Each structure stands twice: as structure tokens, then as C-alpha cells.
Amino acid sequence: MLGLLINTSLSNWLHSLEPRNSIATEYYSLIPKWRSGNIPFVDIAYDYNRSEHLRQASLIELLAANITPTKRSTIIDLGTGDGWPSLPLAHIRPKAYVLGIDGSEQRLARSRKNLSSLGLTNVDFLAADIRKIPVRSCTVDGVVASFAIEEAVDVGQAAREIFRVLKTGGFLKFIHQVWNLPAPRIETISLIQGIVNSDHLVPLLVHTIREGNPNREIRTVLVLDSSSAASEIHQKLLIDSAGLPTQYGEALLNVPSSQVIFKENILNHLKKLTRELFTYETKRYNTKDLVTLLNNIGFTNLENTRIPSVTLKTYPEIHTGSKYLFETMSKELAELNEIGEGVVTANKPIGVN
């Protein structure tokens, strides 16, 4: 049990069922397509008229900035999800070899599918844990990651592994969620369609607690069975919770109206339709804490890299859709960090093996 101050009937109930302890990858294995199958370049071609696509493309350029275009370098992408940033990075750095690593079989299956439809030849995907990278020491030129390192159970162990596999002078550059909560404790719920055994759809109820001090995110995942009764109750909860205010794109439970939705009879019904119940905790950071952690491990040149802020409003020329224009401009746009996201860059010192 997590020993939390529980303030909604739903979280009380979920934790009273004593969920099995797990890790983040189990949750990711239940998601059919990460980011709903809408990842620019990976799932859908870049549309330079869409500011979100420009933003994603500029993040790829930012991650690629440390990779020399003319050199045959080896890059690892930790927690690649459905192949982001591995696939677009390999595309703009064709001389590099990119290895995407993930601990979730479902994510790897999607990454491999995306790779084959894009036809790139300089990418591979591998099943492994971020905390134990199956690569020889001092063999990798760069490690990148997007919203993944903080999900490893032991972030210090993950960072030591990254340090070990990097060549002397190699770089680490990763995107992370900057933990800056609007309240000390936020509870949300999402009702989504999950997948098991690669093609079997199941309804999921995902309860999330986000906390500061200590900074952490705790998810409890209730996997319902594939009966029509389970689908019906899932659908009803989805409709009812659509009336709740949202936070992080999920229905907020820290409001009295949420108590009305998750009444005792509903919860008892849900219990009978439950196939699996597990919980996992991930660590969260602000940039300063991450920088301290990496410094202590021996990384140098630590930098809080600014994320380019790209909007069509500010840069109407982008409407021309010219990739050259876009590449030139995005280098000039390093103005503001998008709220809630940070990019940290670091090096393994030269002379250290």
C-alpha cells in the first residue's frame, strides 16, 4: 500500500483492493497506439501548416544538433514508445545508426511496424530495461530520450547505465516533464480502450495521483474483462466523467461532483468485471534536481537547453511549407521553454572511460 492521504471514494476503493505492484512498461503494453497514432513523421507525414508538427520537428532538430551529419555515429533512444524520436532522428541523420530501446512489447511491435512502413535502414528496436542497457561500455556516441528516463523505477541507476555505455565525450540529451503542479496533490481518471495479447480490446480505467514533495506520479490501472457488461459500465463512466473539469487532459477527481459518479454500487459492479489491477509509481523532477543527479554521477557541461517555441502566428512565412525555411528559422526560435517541458543536455567527460 502506498500510504497516501486518499480524498476520493474511487482511490480509496482502488487501494483497498490491494493492487499488484508493477512498473510503467506494463501500462504502456496496454496502449494500442501511443499518442493515439498521431505522432508527426512516425504515424502521419509532417504537415508544416500545423504548429504542433512544427514543434515536434523542431524538437527533433534540437535532439539531432549534437549528432555530426557526416559521421557514422551510434545513438540510443531510451523509452522510444512508437519510435519517437528514433525514426525522425534517423531520417534527418542518415549516416547515424539509431537503436530504440523500450521495455514494452506492444510499443516495440508498433515501432517495428512504423519502421517497416517508413522504410528506413539505419534504425533497430530492442526490448530492454532502461536500468540495464544491453550494450557494451563506452560504445555509444549519444543517448536521447523523450519523457522516458523519469519513468524508470530507479532514475539514478538509469543515469549510471547511460554514463557507462557512452564513449568518452559522448552526449546525453533528453526531454522531460518539468514537475510544476498547480496543487500539492491532483487526482485524475481516464477511461480508455486498451489492448491485450496484441489484438484483444479491453476497457481500462486509469487512476492517476500526481504529487509534489516527494515529486511522483502514481497510476492504478484497472483492466476490465471483454464482456458487454464491462463495456457498458465503461461507457457510462466515460459519459458521466466527461462532465468533470479536466487537468492534464484527464477528468479531475478533486471535486465533489466526482463522488457522485463513483458510487458504491458502481464500484461493486466494476469489481466483478475486473480482469487485472496493478499500480506503479514514477519519479518526477524539476530541471534543477535532474541536473544535480547527473552531476553527481559524473556528467559535465550540464545545460538546460531551451525548447524552440514555434507558432504559425509568429512565423507566417512557414506557410510556404519549405523545409529549408523551417530549418533555418527553428534555429532562431530558441526563446522560451514550453511550460511543463524541459530539455537537458550533458556530456561524459573527455578522458573518462
CB of 167 within 8 A of CB of 349? no
Q: What are 131's three cell numbers?
A: 536500468
Told to check if 148 binds ligand SAM by CB under 6 A, we report: yes
Told to check if 80 binds ligand SAM by CB under 6 A, we report: yes
Restricted to residues 127-146, the positions that interact with ligand SAM (CB under 6 A) are 129-131, 146
Told to check if 56 binds ligand SAM by CB under 6 A, we report: no
Told to check if 305 binds ligand SAM by CB under 6 A, we report: no
CB of 186 within 8 A of CB of 219? no
Helices (H) and strands (E) in the chain, counts: 11, 14
- Contact range with ligand SAM by CB under 6 A, out of 99-107, 225-233, 312-320, 330-338: 99-107
Cis peptide before 214, with omega less than 30 degrees from 0?
A: yes
Among 9, 56, 104, 258, binds ligand SAM (CB under 6 A): 104
Q: With respect to ligand SAM, which residue has the nearer C-beta, 126 or 238?
A: 126
Told to check if 152 binds ligand SAM by CB under 6 A, we report: yes
Told to check if 150 binds ligand SAM by CB under 6 A, we report: no
Told to check if 34 binds ligand SAM by CB under 6 A, we report: yes
Helix (H) or strand (E) holding 142: strand 140-146
CB of 147 within 8 A of CB of 177? yes
Non-local (6+) Cβ contacts of 222 within 8 A are 14, 204, 205, 206, 207, 270, 274, 276, 277
Among 33, 63, 99, 102, binds ligand SAM (CB under 6 A): 102
DSSP state of 263: -
Residues in the chain: 353
Question: Least distance in Å: CB of 25 to ligand SAM?
Answer: 4
Q: With respect to ligand SAM, which residue has the nearer C-beta, 248 or 315?
A: 248
Question: Least distance in Å: CB of 51 to ligand SAM?
Answer: 18
Told to check if 107 binds ligand SAM by CB under 6 A, we report: yes
Q: What is the rounded CA–CA span in Å between residue 61 and residue 67?
A: 10
Told to check if 24 binds ligand SAM by CB under 6 A, we report: yes
Residue 105 CB neighbour total at 10 angstroms? 13
Told to check if 79 binds ligand SAM by CB under 6 A, we report: yes
Q: With respect to ligand SAM, which residue has the nearer C-beta, 7 or 198?
A: 198
Q: Count residues binding ligand SAM (CB under 6 A).
A: 22
Q: List alpha helices for the chain, DSSP H.
A: 9-16, 24-28, 51-64, 86-92, 105-118, 155-165, 228-241, 256-261, 264-272, 287-297, 323-332
Told to check if 60 binds ligand SAM by CB under 6 A, we report: no
Q: What is the rounded CA–CA span in Å between residue 290 and residue 302?
A: 10
Q: With respect to ligand SAM, which residue has the nearer C-beta, 82 or 141?
A: 82
- Contact range with ligand SAM by CB under 6 A, out of 19-27, 46-54, 297-305, 331-339: 19-27
Question: Least distance in Å: CB of 28 to ligand SAM?
Answer: 3
Sheet of strand 97-102: strand arrangement: 123-127, 97-102, 74-78, 140-146, 166-177, 341-347, 300-305
Told to check if 66 binds ligand SAM by CB under 6 A, we report: no
Query: Which residues would be at the binding site for ligand SAM (CB under 6 A)?
Result: 23-25, 28, 34-35, 79-81, 84, 102-104, 107, 129-131, 146-148, 151-152
